[in-house]
Amino acid sequence: MLSALIASAAFVFAFSGCGEKKEPVIQSWEPVADWLTLPDGMESMGASHGDVAVSENGDVYVSLTGGLRAGVQVYGADGKFVRNVKDAPKDFHGFVIHKDADGIEYICGPSLSTGNILKMKLDGEVVMTIPASAIPEEHWKKNKNGKGALRLTACDVAPNGDIFVTDGYSSDLIHRFNAVGEYQTTFGGKAAPYNFKTLHKIAVDTRFDPVRIAGVSRTDGRVVHMTTEGEYLGDIATGLMKPAALVIHKDHLAIGEILGRVTILDKEGKISHQFGANENTDETGTNKTEPAKWRTGIVNAPHGVALNQNGDLFVTEYSIFGRILKYDAVKGE
């Protein structure tokens, strides 16, 4: 009897193993035409010099610097306008949505004009403010009048809650804070070994253990890797078309290039996909390309990128009109 039960259990185990399905992999990204539905009374989203992020439920958050609903607008997964985030700043140049250990999703990002770093709930309730003064003045870049300045352009949050922000429009330094907003350290910059030239956006690269910091050095076309302690690990990719934004999703690293292209790298740093390329150079890298010239799937000036849980890609552009493009993930075995 015992031998029969063992044999039966072995059969069940073998059968269930054979029945396991591999997770489908993304084969390509296909552009979605006319994805966005603006609210009544708005001819355009509004001036965009910001970022885009997706919450766990699929809502898309985008930051706008001008227009009727400046600040952070929220659109549903179907592209319909939902609301504005209450009291969100109008100069969130770069921000992320991060789920903390408490299971709550938070928006985290720096104010470009003030240098303050905000952490808020998705409804807009501010739960933490890290003032610009928390960054030692020795790391502030002095202007021609000798006055120190910060121009924080982006941030990301590590799994342990540490916050990393980049001073991408000034010193190219990265500043690290712990989960309760206490200053820890600073690294990076324009000098060797980093040699950054507009470290515009950064992302915590969770594909590695320990996690790393990935960043886009926009002006010289590089994507780079560092440890969270600041050790420079080298270039992930070079020769890109002014990479301005990046996001990690599973084994993919998606990059928005402000001169008109989207590039996807695999974990080894090899190009797996490129799409959206715009051959009309007068339309790229500028915020003035008019909607009449927009073409489905063709990008003009990517400035922020995000991926939802399905792997669908969202690109927001540097634009006085405001624009989000959507590309659906096409999966296969």
Asked if residue 61 lies in contact with residue 74, where contact means CB atoms within 8 angstroms, the answer is yes
Q: Rounded distance, CA 243 to CA 94, Å? A: 14
- Closest-CA residue to 45 (of 87, 93, 81, 91): 81
The DSSP H or E segment spanning 304 is strand 302-307
Three-state DSSP class for residue 25: strand
Three-state DSSP class for residue 311: coil
Residue 117: which pLDDT band, with cuts at 50, 70 and 90? very high
Strands (E), 89-211: 96-99, 105-110, 117-121, 126-130, 141-142, 148-149, 154-157, 163-166, 173-177, 183-188, 199-205
Q: Tell whether the model's pLDDT for residue 1 goes beyond 60.
A: no
Tokens of 238: 């070079």
Q: Give the mean model confidence (pLDDT) for residues 192-218.
A: 98
pTM: 0.92
The DSSP H or E segment spanning 4 is helix 2-18
Q: Rounded distance, CA 15 to CA 284, Å? A: 55
Q: Tell whether the model's pLDDT for residue 142 goes beyond 90.
A: no
Q: Tell whether the model's pLDDT for residue 280 goes beyond 70.
A: yes
What are the beta bridge partners of residue 156? 164
Tell me the one-letter amino acid at 50.
G
pLDDT number for residue 4? 42
Q: Does domain 28-332 have CATH number 2.120.10.30?
A: yes
Burial of 43 (0-12, 13-18, 19+ CB in 10 A): exposed
Tell me the one-letter amino acid at 81.
F
pLDDT number for residue 17? 47
pLDDT for 36-62, tens place per residue? 999 888 999 999 999 999 999 999 999
